[in-house]
Amino acid sequence: MNTLFTRTCQRPLLLVMLCLAPLPAAAFDADSDFMFAAGLFKKQRWQYAADAFEGFLNQHPEHPRASLARLYLGLSLNSLEKYGPARTHFQTFITENPDSRNLADAQYGLGECSYYLKNYKPAVEQLSLYLKDHPGHNLNQWASLLLGKSYNALDDHANAERVLEPLIAQKPPIGILADALIALAGSKQAQNQTEPALDLFQQVVDLKSAAHTPRGLAGVASVHMAQKDYVKAAEIYDRVVTEFSGTPVAASSALNSGIAKFQSQNYAQALTTLQNVPADSSASTMASLWKALCRRELGELDIAREELASAFAAAKDTPLAAEILFNRAQVEVLDQKKDVAAQMFMDLADRWPGNSRVAESLFNAAELKMDAGDLPMASRLMERLQKEHPELADDPELSLLQGRMLLNSGKTDEAILLLQKVAEADASSERKTMQRNYHLIRALYKGERYEDAAAAYKKLQDRFEDPKWNAYFGAIALASRSRLELEQYDEAIQLADTFLKLEQNPAKAADALYGRAIANCQLKQFQQADADLAQLMKDFPDDPQTWATTLQSAEIAWQLKEYAAAARFFKLAVQRKSEPKLHLSALSGLAWCHYRLDEFDQAATVFQDIAETYPESDAAHESSFMRGVSLRDAGKKDEAAASFLATYEALEKTAQESSAPNADRYLLESGRNYARLKFAGEDTKAADAVWEKLAERFGDSEQLEGILDEWAYVNLQAGRYDRSDEIYRRLLDKFPNGKFAGQARLSLAESDMQANRLDNALAEFIEIAANEDYRAAEKEAALYHVVDIKAAKRQWEDVLKFGKEFAENYANSPLAPNVGLLYAEGLLDQQQPKEAKTTLTTLRAAVVDGQLKAEPWTERIWVVLAETALAEKRFTDIDPIAAELEQRNAESRFLFQMRDVQGRRWKTQPNPDFAKARDYFASVVSDEVGKGTETAARCQFLIAETWLLEKNYQNAVKEYYRVYLNYAFDDWRARGLFQAAGCEVLLQRPEAASKSYKDLVKEFPGSELAEKAKAKLDQLPPGR
């Protein structure tokens, strides 16, 4: 409340006295100005009075009435609620006029301004000094009120009561009395002195004043609210709304009544009450928040989302906006839009870093990102939370989330250690106890610490099996699987039975059924296992684990030598043809079960099926062999003999003992296929041994070159590049001009290229491309690499030369479009943008029409097209090109390059728009793909340059330093440092400029800018 505004009636006496004082004739104009200002003050024309007094002080600073004018200026500004400048003038008046008869007014005004500026500590000092120096002054009671309220604001309730209680005892005017009673009640309430607070609020009610009674009632209701007596609170708030409608207190009471009803879970009633908050009241935005929360609890998520969005827009950048955004995020979580929710939580933390919701928002965002599998982002959010809120370092909930993140990151041992500490910590609720132990059990199970997992479950078994904790029933299933791993099969079955009895969601039954089926098999309870497997196939036919469990059940029965049960389960698993590995295992198991059961004909049929269905598999030779064995044991000797010939050992023996012309060929082919399968099975050692034996066996044969070529090639395909290179060198040593020499040289050159030995690789590629004896495919690949390396080296003239050669010789090559793009870049570099545009337009049309398959690299066509438009100063063509690229792929990895072109367009075009250019450059600098690249370094430099062009040297110098400090490209760093030094000169900071020039000379002695920096140093003032 602005108390001076209500007491201006005391000011005219001073003005009248001033008017009666004799005036020197020479001072008439100045005094006229003063009296004019004083007249405005008397008429309460505060702004005019303030302007007039300020003008008087500017024009007549030495006038005898200047000090008085300053006092009145302070009073006028105070009445305008411009407390900051008013306080300054009061302080000046007090300093310059310590003996003035108006000192009391100034001292009071000073304290009042500090109070309204919420500078409570100085307000206490100033108001206390005023009361001490001016007892009996007409503003003493107001000062006592503001002093008491200041103490309250500082949580110094003892001093607040010391001031307010005597004030109330004086029975001041009703306005002061009501405020004092409310302030004292607030002090009592803050100290949990409920009954005294209620009594004081009731005294306000008993004043029976339309202005103050509703405030007292609202205070009484607030006490009940604090006591969580929401029904009583709502009843009193409703009384205020009914009996005092139209008042500000009625609006806030309607809001608080709605909140009270919400807290008592009467959401529909709360929503109805909140509708009564006037749309034009200050409580309207807060009411919108609570209406949305009611909608949320009533399951009306779409309406809740809309109302929260409207409330958020109305709240703008206030702390209430942060609260609304927090609740918007919670609505999105309920609606399973977790990515949206996570972003909202992150936005809140970024926009309101000091808000009380930040820690919880970062926590929630990290948890949501973790659940979504984005562990890097979750980790960054967690690191930020720990950095910005070190007070939470030991918070168990934070540690719990860290443990879960470690678990999801595969750091199981670390997760266990942390989660054990969390589980041992005191929990404030049973829910937290359950949650912590549930995640500990998860970690222990994943870490294969099955004894510990089972023990952790056993400790809280009664709680976990309580239906109210259905969210943690998964712990029962994990305990069952732990008992299974511990070979405690009866316990595993009992726990699985418990889980299946409690869990009401059929979709979650699979894990328990898997474990129970396995446990039943281990106990030879095959009929029960049959039932579990049948239910799995009925309810979860598409779950791979269903079939894995069926196969595992069969394998257990096999190990137990229960071949009939095993055959039954293997036959079930054979139905899963969509999983070749599982299908092959099931066929193999079924075949062996038939064999063990002496069902030789059936065994032979299944073994043959394996050999024909999976001829490339590791089991093929065995199956062919076992087909022979089965036929033999069935008495079918001739058919058995034909099957035995399928094994590699048989072929090798035949090759050694036979002179038949085809023996070597069969040996070679069987050996090659064996090696291929071993490579496929990642048994590279065994495969290499066979290749070595083949190379030795055919060492003097013309077939050796083919063996070496394939041997090297399969190593290459397997990613064993060193081994591949070794074999290719062996090939070149033996067959330097052989038919596979070109492929060998090409592969070795590619290895050099991958190892960044570009000069060696380039020389080899050029020779390969020019060798007429090599195959076209090898020469084509080599020439493509030549163009690619030349482009990487920015040797654009050579790009044009070799690119033209490629186009002439391999126009139909799949690589021709790639070369065409590089060729266009070369044309652009050589100042031929028109020709570049022709090539790029053709490539673009091919992609758009589907003649050229759209791949990530083809998106750069649009970037170079934009570069061409920039080179030709077709500025308005650039944004449509960029829009087309973004329309084709909004996630393109080349978008940051396009933003670079767009930024340079706005920087260089006639009538440049430097702000827009900076926006584009900034998007490049922060782009996830582009940040840290040389393109980003250049854009950072261009940001600085736009500020320089605008002669905003302060911003320019900061951005140039970013180039120097944040990037790894020395050329750009040197340029950034040089330009920063220049800006320091323009900012008349020669010492800073000198340091930057010296740093440039020291760090970049080979840069052409080093000499320029030395020259600049000589131009600086001496001693710098």
Give pLDDT tens digits for 126-144.
999 999 999 989 999 999 9
Confidence of residue 667 (pLDDT cuts 50, 70, 90): low
Average pLDDT over residues 565-590: 92
Q: Is residue 7 scored above 60 in pLDDT?
A: no
pLDDT for the residue 26: 41
Q: What's 876's DSSP letter?
A: G
- Among the candidates 93, 109, 125, a domain finishes at 109
Q: Distance between CA 3 and CA 780 in Å, rounded?
A: 91
Average pLDDT over residues 980-1008: 95
Q: Is residue 618 scored above 70 in pLDDT?
A: no
945 falls within a domain: yes
pLDDT for the residue 319: 85
585 falls within a domain: yes
pLDDT for the residue 621: 52
CATH for 551 = 1.25.40.10
pLDDT for the residue 661: 43
pLDDT for the residue 2: 32
Q: Is the same domain home to 481 and 580? A: yes
Residues in the chain: 1024
pLDDT for the residue 1023: 58
Burial bucket for residue 545 (CB in 10 Å: 0-12, 13-18, 19+): middle
Q: Distance between CA 703 and CA 685 in Å, rounded?
A: 23
pLDDT for the residue 909: 95
pLDDT for the residue 301: 82
Q: Is the same domain home to 502 and 374? A: no
Give pLDDT tens digits for 500-542.
888 888 888 888 889 999 999 999 998 999 999 999 999 899 9
pLDDT for the residue 9: 29
- Among the candidates 542, 564, 592, a domain finishes at 592
Average pLDDT over residues 881-885: 95
Q: Is the same domain home to 385 and 458? A: no
pLDDT for the residue 20: 29
875 falls within a domain: no
Q: What is the mean pLDDT of the chain?
A: 87
pLDDT for the residue 645: 41
The shares of helix, strand and coil residues in the chain, as percent rounded to the nearest 5, are: 75, 0, 25
Which residue would you say has higher pLDDT here, 6 or 482? Answer: 482
Q: Is the same domain home to 1010 and 913? A: yes
List the alpha helices (DSSP H) in 316-429.
319-334, 338-351, 358-371, 375-388, 396-408, 412-424
Report residue 968 as tokens. Answer: 């790894």
C-alpha to C-alpha distances, 151 to 138, 184, 381, nearest whole angstrom = 22, 11, 39
Give the DSSP letter string of 713-748.
Answer: HHHHHTT-HHHHHHHHHHHHHH-TTSTTHHHHHHHH
Confidence of residue 665 (pLDDT cuts 50, 70, 90): low
- CA 445 to chain CA mean position, Å: 29
Q: Is the same domain home to 345 and 458? A: no
- Among the candidates 537, 571, 592, a domain finishes at 592
pLDDT for the residue 650: 55
Q: Is residue 464 scored above 80 in pLDDT?
A: no
640 falls within a domain: no
Radius of gyration of the chain (CA): 43
- The residue among 921, 925, 927 whose CA lies nearest residue 908 is 921
The answer to whether 412 and 442 have CB atoms below 8 angstroms apart is no
For residue 599, the one-letter residue type is: E
- The residue among 113, 95, 36 whose CA lies nearest residue 69 is 36
Confidence of residue 836 (pLDDT cuts 50, 70, 90): very high
Q: Distance between CA 220 and CA 231 in Å, rounded?
A: 13
Q: Is the same domain home to 353 and 456? A: no
Give pLDDT tens digits for 167-197.
899 999 998 998 999 999 898 888 999 899 8
Dihedral class, residue 1023 (left if φ above 0, else alpha if ψ from -120 to 50, else beta)? left
Q: Is the same domain home to 384 and 466? A: no
561 falls within a domain: yes
Confidence of residue 802 (pLDDT cuts 50, 70, 90): very high
Q: Is the same domain home to 458 and 584? A: yes
3-state secondary structure of 699: coil
What H or E segment, with its residue span, contains residue 598? none
Q: Is residue 647 scored above 70 in pLDDT?
A: no
Report residue 656 as tokens. Answer: 């050694």
Report residue 428 as tokens. Answer: 């404030």
Q: What percent of the chain shows pLDDT beyond 70?
A: 92
3-state secondary structure of 555: helix
- CA 453 to chain CA mean position, Å: 33
Q: How many CA atoms lie within 13 A of 926 on its CB side?
A: 7
Which residue would you say has higher pLDDT here, 304 or 737? Answer: 737
Average pLDDT over residues 484-511: 88
pLDDT for the residue 620: 60
Q: Is the same domain home to 456 and 582? A: yes
Average pLDDT over residues 754-772: 91
pLDDT for the residue 653: 64
439 falls within a domain: no
- The residue among 196, 148, 188 whose CA lies nearest residue 172 is 148
Q: Distance between CA 726 and CA 703 in Å, rounded?
A: 19
pLDDT for the residue 624: 66
Q: Distance between CA 745 and CA 736 in Å, rounded?
A: 10
Confidence of residue 616 (pLDDT cuts 50, 70, 90): low
Average pLDDT over residues 288-303: 86
Give pLDDT tens digits for 14-68.
232 333 234 443 445 788 889 988 988 998 999 988 998 999 999 999 999 999 9
Give the DSSP letter string of 159-223.
Answer: HHHHHHHHHHHT---HHHHHHHHHHHHHHHHHTT-HHHHHHHHHHHHTT--TTTHHHHHHHHHHH
959 falls within a domain: yes
pLDDT for the residue 116: 94
Q: Is residue 662 scored above 70 in pLDDT?
A: no
- The residue among 338, 403, 387 whose CA lies nearest residue 364 is 338
In the chain, the largest separation of any two C-alpha atoms, in whole Å, equals 146
The residue segments making up the domain with residue 975 are 313-394+893-1019
Q: Distance between CA 90 and CA 837 in Å, rounded?
A: 72
Which residue would you say has higher pLDDT here, 179 or 623? Answer: 179
Q: Is residue 93 scored above 90 in pLDDT?
A: yes
pLDDT for the residue 510: 86
100 falls within a domain: yes
Q: Is the same domain home to 496 and 560? A: yes
pLDDT for the residue 11: 29
Q: What percent of the chain shows pLDDT beyond 90?
A: 55
Candidate ranges 285-294, 327-336, 351-360, 896-905; pick with highest mean pLDDT: 896-905
- Number of compact structural domains in the chain: 3
Q: Is residue 776 scored above 50 in pLDDT?
A: yes
Q: Is the same domain home to 454 and 390? A: no
Q: Is the same domain home to 383 and 495? A: no
